[in-house]
Structure 1
């Protein structure tokens, strides 16, 4: 095949997972195709046990490969490009994309699943993204049918997804649990400098690492700049924090960027804004960008992993 064959699969048992994944991997190995596995720990173990000798498979630990959507895109594009330049006419990759069943917020991974239809289109790639129905929320499964053109089944069928590209928006971002309380900082139309100063004051005494502190100050400055430059006033900046985690949000009355790739790759649109949204997506623990009836909101958070939104670094232990 040519181009990107983007396929999902829904399974409700370990046996069904293996019935879908093993033929996919074995087919790539049999035909001498570069074959990558980037699954969570449980599914990786299942595949290792079922495949036996698998020296030809490239394992990409899922917790590392799917740390952040922008990182995953950059990594995969480098890997696929290398195989294509080496003469590969078919590449296969199977991976567990993070979602709330793994303790990870979905919306930026939903954007990822949508964006790669364009970003991987130049490669001779068959990508399989299986989802465990025992732990995947219904709204995620609905988004997956919209972002994958094909659905594989445990019986060996490869069916067109009836909802692919139907135009309905993906799930909206979910506010962080810290936002249930009053913000520690609330500013209207602040300058980027004022936002940086407010964040620096608010995070004193927290347990953030030096890197996290730097990242959230930068994030506040950049998303305020983005709102003032590209949004519709008023631009409202807010900050919430606990001992180990900080969340900032900027809301304006506009519709947000028209480019669905904004933040996920260094697109032409983000170059004009100094690559800021893309840098946020590669440094912060979580970034969301969403529209609602009141306008457009960008959120970013750093620190902590036991409350609110956690990073995509979960071990991904599936339900039994």
Structure 2
């Protein structure tokens, strides 16, 4: 029988936590973790260096809580979902009837890349719902922008309070709705300059060559190769499943390459496209999932003129 989370709840029990002091964080997190260990539940922590250190110091020696490398877990949304699903499947296979995790997104995600992390926080309500998981996502209101907190309220069904309650989120929006919304793509400053390359109806081979030609040796070889794979997949998707004209635009900077691919179609119909591999055989689903794991940042936008997907290799947190 599941413990801690309401007994009648099945699947994923997703809880947010907004705190404004370290003491408030520990007052909620420590009982959550020790309660899991006491109930015999696999209990994990994936926090940043500072908050992870606070929690580790507050737990008794030999508590049984297991710490994950938070910075590595939250490198890219699709990769985080894949890694967590593998971890959860392993625990269930070993006999776990409930699992507890507290995980914290790095503050670097609150800037230029927040759009795909907001989609992550929404999508996991579905992605983890076939596991007996109770997770808590803490956000420090002292360092989290108001716009991010607004999305947190929309992507978490409930919030934990210091007195042990779980209160419904007034802003909660179901993922099928949230993920279908037309979120604007935050412009990369490099896009204020004319693109280095513009291709209309490019073949995948032409798209791959454009990326190779734009590389000035400023990026890691693996980053360039990953972008080549991603651009080839997305151009192939646009040609096969989108509507003409298909356009590729590329910008090359000192620390990144940015590529956008647009067509006149509506884009993928699956709201989880990119974050999860398509389970229904949706056109282009696998290619977009590969792209989400290959690039430093991926943004998508639906507008009156069609669908645009932008991929970044290298530094996804540019400054002007």
When normalised by structure 1's length, the TM-score is: 0.89
- 1:6 and 1:150 in contact (8 A); partners too: yes
Does structure 1 residue 287 correspond to structure 2 residue 287? no
Matches within 5 A, 1:47-196: 47-98=55-106, 100=108, 105-165=113-173, 167=177, 169=181, 171-196=183-208
CA–CA distance in 2 between the matches of 1:78 and 1:115?
A: 16
Structure 2: runs of 5+ lacking an equivalent: 1-6
- 1:206 and 1:243 in contact (8 A); partners too: no
Does structure 1 residue 249 correspond to structure 2 residue 260? yes
Does structure 1 residue 22 correspond to structure 2 residue 30? yes
Give 3-state SS (helix, strand or coil) of 1:92's partner.
Answer: strand
Does structure 1 residue 8 correspond to structure 2 residue 16? yes
- 1:139 and 1:171 in contact (8 A); partners too: no
CA–CA distance in 1 between the matches of 2:68 and 2:186?
A: 29
Report the number of matched residues. Answer: 308
Structure 1: runs of 5+ lacking an equivalent: 310-320
Give 3-state SS (helix, strand or coil) of 1:28's partner.
Answer: helix
CA–CA distance in 1 between the matches of 2:217 and 2:255?
A: 6
Judging changes above 3 Å, is the alpha-carbon distance between structure 1 residues 170 and 39 closer, same or farther for their aligned structure 2 residues? Answer: farther
Give 3-state SS (helix, strand or coil) of 1:193's partner.
Answer: helix
After superposition, the C-alpha distances for 1:109-147 in whole angstroms (9 at most, x for unaligned) are: 111111111111111110111111112122221221121
- 2:268 and 2:284 in contact (8 A); partners too: no
RMSD across aligned positions (CA): 2.2
Structure number with the bigger relative contact order (C-alpha 8 A, sep ≥ 6) is 1
CA–CA distance in 2 between the matches of 1:260 and 1:41?
A: 33
